[in-house]
Amino acid sequence: MASFSRIGVSSEVGGVRSSSGGDDGVGTLMEFVGKRGVDVGDELVVLFHHIQYACKRIAALVASPFNSTLGKHSGLGGGGGAGGSDRDAPKPLDIVSNEIILSSLRNSGKVAVMASEEDDFPVWISDDGPFVVVTDPLDGSRNIDASIPTGTIFGIYNRLVELDHLPKEEKTMLNSLQSGLKLVAAVYVLYSSATILCTSFGSGTHAFTLDHSTGDFILTHPNIKIPPRGQIYSVNDARYFDWPQGLRQYIDTVRQGKGKYPKKYSARYICSLVADFHRTLMYGGVAMNPRSHLRLVYEANPLSFLVEQAGGRGSDGKIRILSIQPVKLHQRLPLFLGSPEDIEELESYGNVQQKVNPGYEV
């Protein structure tokens, strides 16, 4: 296994032809971001070294038999973060993951601002850091006691040097509220049967699988292309009767095989955004939450960037996600991610955004 990155290994997942490289290929994540791969520049290489280190620590934490005892330690419980309801209150593993990421970004020396879903306000880290990082440190942690897959999401922007003259609080916030169109890179990491890091620098989407024997992320899915259309939809359809007419009509149509694709769709729903998105990226279809629940800055923008770079689309049900200018740090919206033909068909039904949530918080 130590020589895995040098062995030509290929596989086909969901119609995606993948290879680990071979003798002349790029084997590891750090080789890929360096001069042997996409050559993103030395500063971004350093940042990715620290991001992958943080995610390997979180992967080990998630898999640890002792993670359920974290909440018993003082200082790890409690509320705060993200300005949400009790239902969104951070779990201990969220807090620990957030601290791991903040520490790694500080140590990189390359980050000016970090904004996290777990914090009420962004953090100014360094006056000369060239990058701004937004993150959801541990998506899906509500289900972690059941060993359901979880994930981490990152969006990376250039620091807006034109704002350097502003007071620290103001420039910290404005740097964090950049449009998704300005993303330099995006990442999600899936913690499941394998730990997979998927990233894009604006020239395709590529996935790397953690080789636990070497500690390297190995390129296993270069240039992912989402199928133009899938046969799976992913949504909490227990809320069917709360949905608007357009969304109910769309789901009724495709699961009966009466849509533009004459096959019956299947439902697959994990209730972990990174996991549902990863499957959709591999197999096609649509992953969605029609409520104004998911966060534009930390979740919708990075994942939309990644799916677009794989040939798919990210939408709020009406317009392109990346075209939406954030106005609040924890701004929420409906989110539909997936195959371009599936998203186009869904949008054609018009009224697909769920505006009311009767009984949901009870």
The CATH number covering residue 271 comes to 3.40.190.80
**Within 228-337, where are the H helices?**
245-255, 273-283, 301-309
pLDDT of 25 reads: 58
Shared domain for 56 and 203, answered yes or no, is yes
Give the residue from 188, 205, 223 where a domain finishes. Answer: 223
Task: Point out the catalytic residue in the list 31, 119, 136, 242.
Answer: 136
Shared domain for 216 and 257, answered yes or no, is no
Q: Is 94 a catalytic residue?
A: yes
Task: Confirm whether 10 is domain-assigned.
Answer: no
Shared domain for 56 and 175, answered yes or no, is yes
Give the residue from 202, 223, 244 where a domain finishes. Answer: 223
Shared domain for 236 and 219, answered yes or no, is no
Distance CA 250, CA 253 (A): 5
pLDDT of 152 reads: 98
Q: Is 99 a catalytic residue?
A: no
Task: Confirm whether 84 is domain-assigned.
Answer: no
Task: Point out the catalytic residue in the list 211, 216, 299, 347.
Answer: 299
Give the residue from 181, 198, 223 where a domain finishes. Answer: 223
Shared domain for 236 and 218, answered yes or no, is no
* Listed residue (290, 40, 342) closest to 187, CA to CA: 40
Which domain range does residue 54 map to?
29-68+92-223
Residue 213 has pLDDT above 60, yes or no: yes
Shared domain for 321 and 271, answered yes or no, is yes
Q: How many domains does one find in the chain?
A: 2
The CATH number of the domain holding residue 58 is 3.30.540.10
Shared domain for 191 and 289, answered yes or no, is no
Shared domain for 61 and 138, answered yes or no, is yes
> Higher pLDDT residue, 56 or 3?
56
Give the Cβ contact number of residue 305 at 10 Å.
Answer: 26
pLDDT tens-place string over residues 176-211? 999 999 999 999 999 999 999 999 999 999 999 999
Q: Is 117 a catalytic residue?
A: yes
Task: Point out the catalytic residue in the list 31, 94, 242, 345.
Answer: 94
* Listed residue (55, 345, 25) closest to 198, CA to CA: 55
Residue 11 has pLDDT above 80, yes or no: no
Shared domain for 172 and 236, answered yes or no, is no
Task: Point out the catalytic residue in the list 31, 119, 139, 242.
Answer: 139
Task: Tell me the Cα Rg of the chain.
Answer: 20
Q: Is 31 a catalytic residue?
A: no
Contact 159, 44 (CB under 8 A): no
Residue 280 has pLDDT above 70, yes or no: yes
pLDDT of 37 reads: 81
Q: Is 88 a catalytic residue?
A: yes
Residue 66 has pLDDT above 50, yes or no: yes
Tell me how far apart the terminal alpha carbons of the chain are, to the nearest angstrom: 50
**Within 129-217, where are the H helices?**
168-176
> Higher pLDDT residue, 89 or 32?
32
Lowest mean pLDDT among 11-25, 137-151, 222-236: 11-25
Shared domain for 155 and 201, answered yes or no, is yes
pLDDT tens-place string over residues 83-132? 444 555 555 899 999 999 999 999 999 999 999 999 999 999 999 999 99
